[in-house]
Amino acid sequence: MSTNIDIQESSKDSKGKAVLVAAPARAGGWKKGIAIIDFILRLGAVAAALGAAASMGMSDQTLPFFTQFFQFEASYDSFTAFQFFVITMAIVAGYLVLSLPFSIVAIIRPHATGPRLFLIILDTVFLTLAAASASAAASIVYLAHNGNQDTNWLAICNQFGDFCAQTSGAVVSSFIAVVVLVLLVVMSALAIGKH
Amino acid sequence: MSTNIDIQESSKDSKGKAVLVAAPARAGGWKKGIAIIDFILRLGAVAAALGAAASMGMSDQTLPFFTQFFQFEASYDSFTAFQFFVITMAIVAGYLVLSLPFSIVAIIRPHATGPRLFLIILDTVFLTLAAASASAAASIVYLAHNGNQDTNWLAICNQFGDFCAQTSGAVVSSFIAVVVLVLLVVMSALAIGKH
């Protein structure tokens, strides 16, 4: 009787082990897929951030005429928020390029949480930086388009149409980078959390 | 002999079980500490976000005199970015209050990744929202303080000193909430990632 019970228990044990080994193997494929999507999205974010920085950095319009109240030239140098935008977007793009090797490590080793933890923490920091600079520039672009009656700040987009179009494009591009960074953080969290 | 062997094996089993039970218990204490800090920081973030929304929402200054160029009154209604700020900070504060029960669940069950995953994903989304509205308002506050010569936008803080002080305080408070949210995301990532 006692040996019989022992055999049953050991077979139970091996069953439990088999399930434990099988589960991570299946999850690995799923995590590898997440890591590949992570890499592709990261490339897209690099393009969006670089495009935003370049588009804003090259925004410069000189008017062929001048009035009593307006300057001849508008460039990103005119606004502190736009300077901040160019610098921050360049830094974010640089970080995203440097993060690509870690994303590749996550593809090769889908189970390693180390690179994913490293990426999710730095992604969060640079997401905050990107969101801050994108919306600081967006609020200036909004003012440039609409002005503000209460403070007598006049809209400048009637005069500087090309400048406004270019900076608006840069802001849109930066918000694409922000959305992609949010997706990257959420995906990393899911990949780390689900075992 | 056979019974003897049986006894040895069972003692081995119980040892193995004891180790298995002990290891998570130690890790659990570490995770419980993180969860408690998470709860306290969350309370601080609620206070910072509520303070920011209230301070900005009540910013309103009427001047005792008027000139040809300036209005009599300045309030957060004057700027779209400030309206966005008040709405967003109220939403973030509301979310943080609603997230407190999940933080408590994480304290009671330090091993459950479900509530932490839920929190880290929503924290990331609301962190982005908070950072965006904080810096949009910050760029307007900067303009109000310094003006912009190239576009002929005059600084209004000479006239509306109290208004500027109050909105500046709200922006500082919102950035405190942003920093706390970044810490919350990083801590959640560490708690999920380290087993």
Backbone torsions φ then ψ of A64, nearest 5 degrees: -75, -10
Of the partner residues A116, A148, A193, the one whose CB lies closest to the CB of residue B117: A193
| Rounded Cα–Cα distance for residues A154 and B5 (Å) | 92
Q: Is A32 helix (H, G, I), strand (E, B) or coil?
A: helix
Whether residue A170 contacts residue A59, with contact meaning beta carbons closer than 8 Å, is answered with yes
Enter the tokens of residue A111: 């189970």
Helix or strand (DSSP H, E) at B29? helix B2-57
**Average pLDDT in the B117-127 region?**
95
Residue type, B186: V
pLDDT above 70 (res A69) = no
Enter the tokens of residue B71: 């209005």
User: CB neighbours of A189 closer than 8 A, spacing ≥ 6?
Assistant: A120, B117, B120, B121, B124, B188, B189, B192
Give the pLDDT confidence score for residue B152 in this predicted structure: 82
| Rounded Cα–Cα distance for residues A138 and A82 (Å) | 9
ipTM, interface predicted TM-score of the complex? 0.81
**Average pLDDT in the A132-139 region?**
95
Min Cα separation A81/chain B (Å) = 6
Per-residue pLDDT of A20-55, as tens digits, reads 444 444 556 888 999 999 999 999 999 999 999 999
Contact A136 B138 (CB under 8 A): yes
Tell me the percentage of chain B whose pLDDT exceeds 90. 57
Query: Lowest-confidence range among A128-142, A176-190, B149-163?
Result: B149-163
Choose the mutation target among A71, A128, A129 for the interface with B, i.e. most B CBs under 10 Å: A128
Q: Give CA angle at A136 (B44, A54), nearest 5°.
A: 135
**Average pLDDT in the B108-132 region?**
93
Residue type, B123: D
pLDDT above 90 (res A127) = yes
Nearest CA in chain B to A153: B153
Q: Please state the domain extents for chain B.
A: 51-59+74-195
| Rounded Cα–Cα distance for residues A148 and A160 (Å) | 17
Min Cα separation A183/chain B (Å) = 9
Give bridge partners of residue B61 from the DSSP assignment.
B74
User: Own/partner pairs for B157-160, CB < 8 Å, 24+ apart?
Assistant: B159/B63, B159/B70, B159/B74, B160/B61, B160/B63, B160/B74
Enter the tokens of residue A97: 């390029």
Enter the tokens of residue A169: 């494009």
Contact A151 B154 (CB under 8 A): yes
Enter the tokens of residue A167: 């900076």
Residue with tokens 């309370």: B43
More confident residue, B136 or A15: B136
Closest CA to B160 of B56, B64, B52: B64
